[in-house]
Amino acid sequence: MRWQLLIERLRIPLMLFPSLAVLVVLFGGGMLFGVGQSFGYFPIIGLTDLTFQYYIDVLTDPNFFLSLWLTFRIAFISTFLSCVFAIGFAMVLRHQFRGSQLFTFIFQIPIPIPHLVAASGIVLLVTQSGVLSRISVELGLTQVPRDFPVMVFDRNGIAMILTYLWKEVPFIGIVVLAVLQGVGPQYEEIAQTLGANRWQRFRFVLLPLILPGVLSTSIIVFAYVFANYEIPLLLGVRHPTTLPVLAFENYQDPDLSLRPQAMAVSVILAVLAIGLLVTYKRLARLAVNR
């Protein structure tokens, strides 16, 4: 009897243990080692003393701050615009009209499609000899490839942002859509009979209802874009590039002494990400509770 009770007590911890173990060991362990390396603990090349030197090197490098600003800018713009478009599209798609199910399906298509495929497609569209440029020639707006604005391998990261938008707008949009359709029209109807116009109904009735969902998904989006390596490598310039690319390139450098520096950049990246997101969540919670 006693061992049955014991199993009962242990049941939940046992259920949780495997996932936690995997994540703690792989993720936590990885972080531990990574942080260690950033402080110079690198037995392979003979470094065993802990030092802040690498952090100092990184933080005094102007390149670093350029990269940081670029990373932040792209993440912020991508996330913000994604939210705006997502809410807008969801507001249109939530009604039932002829074909609404089909169009909602089309809206969702980007969600499972890999970012690389999206990037590949965007490149075809926005390079100076790409589809959009050719349409522009057809419309008589430009004549040669060079006339068309640079959007890939550019300093502004336009192609990158477009790629992120294409992927993330449906992601946030579907969540908002689910909320809106779950809520139904009645709150708005009541507000309407009480004298609220269209903007007031959105601002005071709908927005508070969708904000939690928008908040959660935008946190995921921001975190993803901030830490993303593939897209900036593919569609951006070498210099300045985003922090993840900077870190990884340093890591891959044959000169192993650059590794601790790479780790330092990565750790700073992680700390910044956490800091930004915690702040964001706090601010958002304040705004919602007002």
Name which of residues 194 to 253 contact other proteins (CB under 8 A). 194-197, 200, 204-205, 208-209, 212-213, 216-217, 219-220, 223, 226-227, 229-230, 234-235, 244, 247-248, 251
Judged by beta carbon, residue 59 or residue 106, the one nearer other proteins is 106
Minimum CB distance to other proteins, residue 109 (Å): 5
Asked if 139 contacts 252 with a C-beta cutoff of 8 angstroms, the reply is no
Count Cβ atoms below 10 Å from residue 36 Cβ, excluding itself: 15
Minimum CB distance to other proteins, residue 154 (Å): 14
Question: Applying CB under 8 A, does 101 fall inside the site for other proteins?
Answer: yes
Tokens (6 digits) for 50: 């802990």
Question: Applying CB under 8 A, does 15 fall inside the site for other proteins?
Answer: yes
Question: Applying CB under 8 A, does 27 fall inside the site for other proteins?
Answer: yes
Question: Applying CB under 8 A, does 46 fall inside the site for other proteins?
Answer: no
Which pairs count as long-range contacts for 226-231, CB under 8 Å and 24+ apart, including other chains? 226/71, 226/72, 226/75, 226/269, 226/272, 226/273, 226/276, 227/269, 227/273, 228/115, 230/115, 230/116, 230/119, 231/115, 231/119, 231/160, 231/163, 231/164
Q: What is the DSSP letter of 218?
A: H
Minimum CB distance to other proteins, residue 56 (Å): 19
> Which 135-154 positions form the footprint of other proteins (CB under 8 A)?
135, 137-138, 145
Question: Applying CB under 8 A, does 258 fall inside the site for other proteins?
Answer: no
Size of the site for other proteins (CB under 8 A): 114
Q: Applying CB under 8 A, which of residues 81, 150, 258, 277 lies at the interface with other proteins?
A: 277
Question: Applying CB under 8 A, does 117 fall inside the site for other proteins?
Answer: yes
Question: Applying CB under 8 A, does 107 fall inside the site for other proteins?
Answer: yes
Rounded distance, CA 272 to CA 37, Å?
Answer: 18
Distance between start and end Cα atoms, the chain: 54
Among 209, 205, 159, 149, smallest CA distance to 182 is for 209
> Which 50-89 positions form the footprint of other proteins (CB under 8 A)?
88-89
Asked if 37 contacts 53 with a C-beta cutoff of 8 angstroms, the reply is no
Give the binding range for other proteins (CB under 8 A) out of 23-31, 47-55, 56-64, 76-84.
23-31
Question: Applying CB under 8 A, does 33 fall inside the site for other proteins?
Answer: yes
Question: Applying CB under 8 A, does 14 fall inside the site for other proteins?
Answer: yes
**In whole angstroms, how far apart are CA 207 and each of 33, 75, 203?**
43, 23, 5
Give the binding range for other proteins (CB under 8 A) out of 46-54, 56-64, 76-84, 191-199.
191-199
**In whole angstroms, how far apart are CA 169 and each of 56, 177, 263?**
38, 12, 32
Q: Applying CB under 8 A, which of residues 6, 24, 256, 283 lies at the interface with other proteins?
A: 24
Q: Applying CB under 8 A, which of residues 66, 123, 150, 258 lies at the interface with other proteins?
A: 123
Cis before 232 (ω within 30):
no
